[in-house]
Amino acid sequence: MNRFTRITLLVVALVSTTTTAKAQELPLGSALPMADQQVTLSDGSQAALQSLGGINGMVVAFWSNQCPWVDKYEERFQALQNDFAAQGIGFVLVNSNDPTAFPQESASESDKKAQALGIPYIMDQGAILATAFGASRAPHIYSFDNTRTLVYLGSIDDSPGDPASVQNSYLRDVLTALVAGSSSSVPQTKAFGCRLKTEG
C-alpha cells in the first residue's frame, strides 16, 4: 500500500466517522439539548429553547420549506398543534438547512411559514441544533415530556404520502399520552423525509 492510498483511506475513514457521529439520534430518556440556549427565530427575535415548550410537553420538529414530504405533512402537523397547544404542548420548527445554498430556506421564507402555521420557527445557523439532536431529515420529530425528557422520536405517522392511509398516528398517540400523564406504546420510529442540507 503506497503513501497516497494510505492517506486516501485515512480521509475516507475520518469522513465516515464524522458522518456517523452526526447521524446518531438523541437517545430516548435524554434531556432537551441546549435547553437554556438562546435560539434565533425566523422573525429575528430570540428565546431560550426550553421556553418554547408547554407545561405538559414539547415537540421539536426539524423542518424545511422546500421538501415535498414536509409539504405532505404540513396540514397534519398543524392539526396536531391546533389540537394540543391548548392542552399544554408547545410546538417549534427548526430549519437547519443552509440558506446560502438554498434560498427557500432563508429566514424570510421561514417566517412566512411560521406565520401561516402559527408555530415558532428556529433558524439553526450552522446546524448546531441538528447536530445536538442527531437530526438528519425533515420532518424529524422529537417529543419531550413536562420535565423536558425525550419520550419519542421519529416520524409523525406511518403514511408520509397519504393522510387517508394512516393506520398509526405515532405523534398524536404520544401527545395524547403526555396530556394524560402516561406513556406511549411506541416511543421510537424511523424518520422519513428529505435529508437536511446543512452547511458544508
User: Quick check: is 135 in a domain?
Assistant: yes
Residue 24's pLDDT is 87
Domain CATH for 184: 3.40.30.10
- Domain extent, residue 100, equals 27-195
Confirm if 96 and 198 have CB atoms less than 8 A apart: yes
Burial of 102 (0-12, 13-18, 19+ CB in 10 A): middle
What is the reported pTM? 0.88
Contacts of 56 (CB under 8 A, 6+ apart): 87, 88, 89, 145, 146, 178, 179
* 159-195 confidence digits (pLDDT tens): 999 999 999 999 999 999 999 999 888 999 999 999 9
Instruction: State the total domains in the chain.
Output: 1
User: Quick check: is 91 in a domain?
Assistant: yes
Output the CA–CA distances (angstroms, integers) from residue 133 to 22, 58, 70, 136, in the order listed.
9, 14, 19, 9
Confirm if 73 and 139 have CB atoms less than 8 A apart: yes
User: Quick check: is 11 in a domain?
Assistant: no
Q: Where are the alpha helices (DSSP H) in 67-186?
A: 68-84, 107-117, 128-133, 170-180
Output the CA–CA distances (angstroms, integers) from residue 198 to 33, 43, 46, in the order listed.
19, 20, 21
Element (H, E) at 95: strand 89-95
User: Quick check: is 12 in a domain?
Assistant: no
| 89 DSSP assignment | E
Query: Could you tell me the mean pLDDT of each successive run of 10 residues in the chain, 200 residues long?
Result: 40 32 80 97 97 97 97 97 97 97 96 96 97 97 97 97 96 97 93 90
Q: How far apart are CA 18 and CA 124, in angstroms?
A: 19
User: Quick check: is 177 in a domain?
Assistant: yes
User: Quick check: is 4 in a domain?
Assistant: no
Residue 118's pLDDT is 95
Contacts of 103 (CB under 8 A, 6+ apart): 109
DSSP 115-142: HHHT--EEE-GGGHHHHHHT--EESEEE
Copy the grid coordinates of residue 179. Answer: 396530556
Output the CA–CA distances (angstroms, integers) from residue 29 to 134, 135, 144, in the order listed.
14, 16, 9
